[in-house]
Chain A
Amino acid sequence: MRQRGPAQAPAPAPADPERAASVRAIAEQLSTLRGPLLPVLHEVVATHGYVTDDDVLVVAEVLNLSRADVHGVVTFYHDLRRTPPVAHRVALCRGEACQARGAEGLYAEAADRWSATAAVEVGEVFCLGLCAVGPSGTVDGVLHAALSPDRLAALTDGWSR
């Protein structure tokens, strides 16, 4: 329907047929929802950890969207990551309420501590809703409040630097 002019060349075969089949199954299963794209992409990330260009092709085909539409959505939202997750992830809140309780120093120290460690990703997040007991953050997906450099060090004890 969206095609105009000469027919598009067929998409190249996906690099990982097993993954493509899984993504197709996810998209087909959720395709009956109203506005299914975000739930589908969330599920792809939950299952496979990130969204690849091949995933975009499959999802676009199943949901009868253009590849550009899906690409546009994937690149708009912070949660829809496009690179494989690393071993550990720390996400620290940099919202105003956490800043008022020292979040900026904590963030700078954490970013510095793991700057040379590929297996640890330090990210920022804007508000986890724990604004009276900050600084807050997540360590491998688990919520923590009242964080300090010492507390963060204790929680990540054993991670390679």
Chain B
Amino acid sequence: MTTAWVPCDAAAVALGADAVADAIAAAGVTVRRNGSRGMLWLEPLVEVETERGRVGYGNITEAEVGPLLDGALDDTERCIGVVDEHQWLSRQHRVSFARVGVIEPTDLAAYRDHGGLVGLQRALSLAPEEVVAEVTASGLRGRGGAGFPAGIKWETVRTAPADVKFVCCNADEGDSGTFADRMLIEGDPFTLLEGMAIAALAVGATEGYVYLRSEYPHAIRTLRRAIDIAYAHGVLGESVLGSGRRFDLDVRVGAGAYICGEETSMLESLEGKRGEVRAKPPIPALEGLFGRPTVVNNVLTLGAVPMVLADGGEAYAALGTGRSRGTQVFQLAGNVARGGIVEADFGVSLGDLVEDFGGGTASGRPVKAVQVGGPLGAYLPPAQFGLPMDYEAFADAGAMVGHGGVVVWDDTMDASVMARFAMEFCAKESCGKCTPCRIGSTRGVEVIDRIRAASDDGVRRTQLVLLDDLCTTMAKGSLCAMGGLTPMPVRSALEHFPEDFGVPVDAADGARP
């Protein structure tokens, strides 16, 4: 036994991985720190190098390091065998997450050995418009939630005349139930840097910023270290990979405002202002950061770009379904037995994710609902588990794929409480610029409180009409997705779980206007 791998991912660390790593090192074994494999229910997941491959041991505590190293856990269920062959991983299609959990996050040599920088090198051999054409051909759409085609956005920035252009990565992953941005940055930050450098070459940008939330201190440290290393090795800086083309990159840390995940609010924040949403148009692609043409993409969008360039846009477009091309990094969260990262081609069903990968609830009780796409996403009952994970199919069902987060709830959940929480959260985190969001969310809390407290059907009916009217005002009148989508969890909760609002199930259709 020579080398053991212990994840340095924040989720593993929050479950005691640092103490485990120290104990293993103290026993004289070489410890290397990888990102997380994404099997979060097994963290800290220690992997020991053997002739067969890296053998994993789940949920290791500091006290169990001795027995682990003595082989006492080998024949127990704590040993999951060779990790690469684990069914949970082998059934996935890891593209963006191919290296996460496998290599040390800031080991640039290992990054190259595992296919890194091939995409950037190819991009340097192409004309900017050819790079954009590859991205357009790949069908890659924004992974932040809106699903806007990346190639079209890039082409707009590329053809906009300006003295300076920017590439901004939105890493303000504030949606509860989403953590893929964090895990990519903590587990394989060079992928993001490479994607941003490719974007910069494609559109003619010379400066980039990663807007990373302050709630992710481990990610901030890892990304800053990766940027330093990339500069030292000429991946970033005045001559990207010796091409003579400049790209500078900096990390900017958020300050605890959820709304800054909205792209125009993020730009305001990057400029050093209150994170208040801008009206569009003008679109950021034409007038973005400091009024200059700016690519704003999510971490996973930019993280998919190196593969698109390395293997060609057509190869990426061959994956997925309908107009949702490629893979999506789904995140199983909440009350789920096997939570973590499931990267799969678009088109996998919601039920496959929750039941096959997730294994149902952690509590062992029946699944009552899942919320897909973050706090602004819809609550869906198991009856909808046949839905394919696809932007259009979800939109047709009054839901959204969003950033790919799936939060599972057991049958103790009260949908009216969650509807109220959606409004409460919006009231707390609204930037305050537009009235439907700022005032509507507060009124929404009050109306839902009255519905929950209603003693007779007449009162409830009146308040339900008010709530529906309010939701329409917010959905149609808000400046951005925060106010515009807060009605989605509210309405879906009411639609699928009317009994939680005191509406008799069989009368539900009649109760709602």
Interface residues of A, Cβ cutoff 8 Å to B:
33-39, 41-42, 69, 72-73, 76-80, 93, 95-101, 125-134, 136, 143-146
Asked if A129 contacts B182 (CB within 8 A), the reply is yes
B254 contact set on A, CB distance < 8 A: 77, 79
- Are A98 and B176 touching (Cβ within 8 A)? yes
Is B468 an interface residue, CB under 8 A from the partner?
no
Q: Is the beta-carbon distance between B176 and A96 smaller than 8 angstroms?
A: yes
Choose among A78, A99, A134, A145 the residue that contacts B257 (Cβ–Cβ < 8 A).
A78
Evaluate contact between B14 and A37: CB separation under 8 angstroms: no
Q: Are B252 and A132 in touch, CB under 8 angstroms?
A: no
A131 and B178 contacting across the interface, CB-CB below 8 Å: yes
What are 27 inter-chain pairs, A to B, with CB distance below 8 A?
A36-B272, A37-B272, A38-B253, A38-B270, A38-B272, A41-B255, A42-B255, A76-B275, A79-B214, A79-B255, A79-B256, A80-B255, A95-B375, A97-B177, A97-B334, A99-B418, A100-B413, A101-B362, A126-B425, A129-B215, A129-B216, A130-B11, A131-B407, A132-B340, A133-B40, A143-B13, A144-B14
B267: nearest residue on chain A (CB-CB)?
A35
| With known contacts A96-B418, A99-B421, A132–B331 Cβ distance under 8 A | yes
When A and B form their complex, which 6 residue pairs have the shortest distance between CB atoms, in order from nearest?
A132-B339, A95-B176, A37-B272, A77-B255, A100-B334, A78-B256
Question: Chain A contact residues: over half helix, strand or loop, or mixed?
Answer: loop
Most buried by B among A41, A129, A134: A129
**In the bound complex, how far is the Cα of B254 from the Cα of A88, in angstroms?**
23
Chain A residues within an 8 Å CB radius of B410 = 100
Q: Is the CB of A42 within 8 A of B176?
A: no
Is B274's CB within 8 Å of the partner chain A? yes
What residues of B have a CB within 8 angstroms of the CB of A34 in the complex?
A: 207, 271, 290
In the docked arrangement, what's the CA distance between A125 and B176, Å? Answer: 11
- Other contacts beyond A96-B418, A101-B362: 17, CB < 8 A: A33-B250, A35-B252, A35-B290, A36-B272, A38-B252, A39-B252, A41-B255, A73-B274, A76-B257, A97-B177, A125-B256, A126-B176, A127-B173, A127-B175, A127-B178, A131-B331, A131-B407
Q: Chain A residues near B15 (CB, 8 Å)? A: 133, 145-146
What's the nearest-Cβ distance from chain B to residue A102, in Å?
Answer: 9
A35 to B250, CA, bound (A): 12
Partner of B215, one of A42, A96, A97, A127: A127
Return the contact of A133 from the options B14, B214, B409, B421 (Cβ within 8 A).
Answer: B14
A38 interface neighbour in B269, B331, B339, B362, Cβ under 8 Å: B269
